[in-house]
């Protein structure tokens, strides 16, 4: 089994835990305050991790080119926006459905990868992504009431936009990590993570200070849960960044659809939310797409 596969699954699991913790913060903090928790508390951990790895191995990543900082900042801002939109969705739908709205991400990631990095997408990977996408549609699109005309509501477009920003961030992070001239895969991934999370923490703290006075203090008071968000967020991001360095970002994000299965489990076991047969069928299709991707990606 190629290394990027278990790394991606572990990242998806950590991300699911982080999303669940962030949902519990939604009532105590604003949307952007809850968004900030993953970056503010993750940044010091990411910097410490890079320092330990580089000090322990005696290696560095070389002089970072301008492309590293450009990709890192674009990816960082896109991820902030994507996370804020996702947390906003928690106010409108149950945990499983709100997260599933963003899962058009692999298709959008593939497009960004082709345009920005010249990545390619095999026919097998494309088929696998479409299978997963069909499953996501079953999970996320609500059934209309009897006699009512079905239409897409605003929540769908918010989810699609969130997925697009997540896709852009994934490709940008891959570009940043690959631009570093030296270092192992893990060292380059941790360097990218340290820069990006520090940039994100400073950016969102500045936003909160300007637009939501008092929210920074509330964020600090919520350190017990917010600290766990930071830890799980940092571990998940390290997994994603490592996988992006190893493999095409579209393949990584498509395999990451396995998170929908973890999300469904959290929705049932922890939030005691009811899940329909159609949502279960959709999750099974997502699982089939994940298996197909592993077998047909190359």
Mean pLDDT, rounded, of the chain: 83
Selection from 21, 2, 15 nearest residue 240 by Cα: 15
CB 182 within 8 A of CB 61: yes
**Full DSSP string of the chain:** --THHHHHHHHHHHHHHHHHHHHHHTTTS-HHHHHHHHHHTTHHHHHHHHHHHHHHHT----SPPHHHHHHHHHHHHHHHHHHHHHHHHTTTS-HHHHHHTTTTHHHHHHHHHHHHH-----HHHHHHHHHHHHHHHHHHSPPPPTTPPP---HHHHHHHHHHHHHHHHHHHHHHHHHH--SS-HHHHHHHHHHHHHHHHHHHHHHHHHHHSTTHHHHHHHTHHHHHHHHHHHHHHHHHHHHHHHHS-HHHHHHHGGGHHHHHHHHHHHTS-----HHHHHHHHHHHHHHHHHHHH--
CA terminus-to-terminus distance, the chain: 13
What's the total number of domains in the chain?
1
pLDDT digits (tens, 9 = 90+) for 4-17: 889 999 998 888 78
Q: Is residue 83 part of a domain?
A: yes
pTM confidence score: 0.81
CB 140 within 8 A of CB 100: yes
Q: Is residue 168 part of a domain?
A: yes
In this structure, the number of other CB atoms found within 10 A of the CB of residue 135 comes to 25
Structural domain boundaries, residue 44: 9-121+152-247
Q: Is residue 240 part of a domain?
A: yes
Q: Is residue 217 part of a domain?
A: yes
Q: Determine if residue 183 is left, alpha or beta; phi over 0 gives left, psi from -120 to 50 gives alpha, anything else beta.
A: left
* Residue-by-residue pLDDT tens, the chain, 298 positions: 688 889 999 998 888 788 778 777 877 888 888 888 889 999 999 999 999 998 876 678 888 999 999 999 999 999 889 888 887 877 765 555 666 667 778 778 888 888 888 887 777 777 887 887 777 667 666 565 565 554 555 667 788 888 899 999 999 999 999 999 998 999 999 999 999 999 999 999 999 999 888 899 999 998 888 899 989 989 999 999 999 999 888 888 878 877 777 777 767 777 677 777 777 787 778 777 777 776 665 5
CA-based Rg of the chain, rounded to a whole angstrom?
19
Q: Is residue 266 part of a domain?
A: no
Q: Is residue 236 part of a domain?
A: yes
pLDDT digits (tens, 9 = 90+) for 62-119: 889 999 999 999 999 998 898 888 878 777 655 556 666 677 787 788 888 888 888 8
Q: Is residue 285 part of a domain?
A: no
Q: Is residue 282 part of a domain?
A: no
């Amino acid at each position: 089994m190629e290394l990027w596969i278990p790394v991606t699954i572990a990242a998806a699991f950590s991300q699911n835990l982080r999303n669940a913790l962030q949902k519990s913060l939604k009532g105590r903090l604003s949307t952007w305050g809850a968004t900030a928790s993953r970056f503010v508390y993750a940044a010091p951990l990411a910097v410490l991790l890079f320092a330990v790895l580089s000090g322990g191995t005696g290696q560095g990543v070389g002089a970072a080119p301008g492309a590293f900082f450009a990709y890192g900042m674009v990816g960082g801002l896109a991820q902030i926006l994507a996370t804020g939109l996702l947390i906003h969705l928690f106010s409108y739908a149950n945990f499983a459905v709100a997260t599933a709205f963003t899962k058009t991400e692999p298709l959008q990631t593939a497009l960004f990868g082709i345009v920005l990095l010249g990545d390619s997408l095999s026919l097998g990977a494309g088929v696998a992504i479409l299978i997963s996408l069909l499953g996501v549609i079953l999970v996320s699109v609500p059934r209309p009431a009897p006699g009512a005309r079905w239409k897409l509501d605003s929540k769908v477009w918010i989810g699609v936009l969130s997925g697009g920003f997540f896709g852009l961030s994934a490709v940008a992070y891959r570009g940043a990590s690959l631009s570093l001239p030296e270092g192992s895969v893990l060292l380059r991934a941790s360097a990218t993570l340290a820069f990006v999370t520090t940039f994100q923490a400073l950016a969102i703290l500045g936003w909160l200070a300007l637009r939501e006075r008092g929210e920074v203090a509330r964020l600090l008071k919520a350190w017990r849960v917010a600290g766990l968000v930071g830890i799980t967020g940092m571990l998940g991001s390290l997994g994603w960044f490592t996988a992006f360095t190893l493999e095409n970002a579209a393949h990584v994000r498509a395999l990451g659809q396995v998170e929908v299965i973890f999300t469904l489990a959290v929705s049932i076991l922890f939030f005691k939310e009811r899940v329909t047969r159609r949502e279960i069928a959709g999750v099974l299709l997502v699982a089939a797409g994940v298996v197909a991707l592993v077998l047909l990606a190359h």
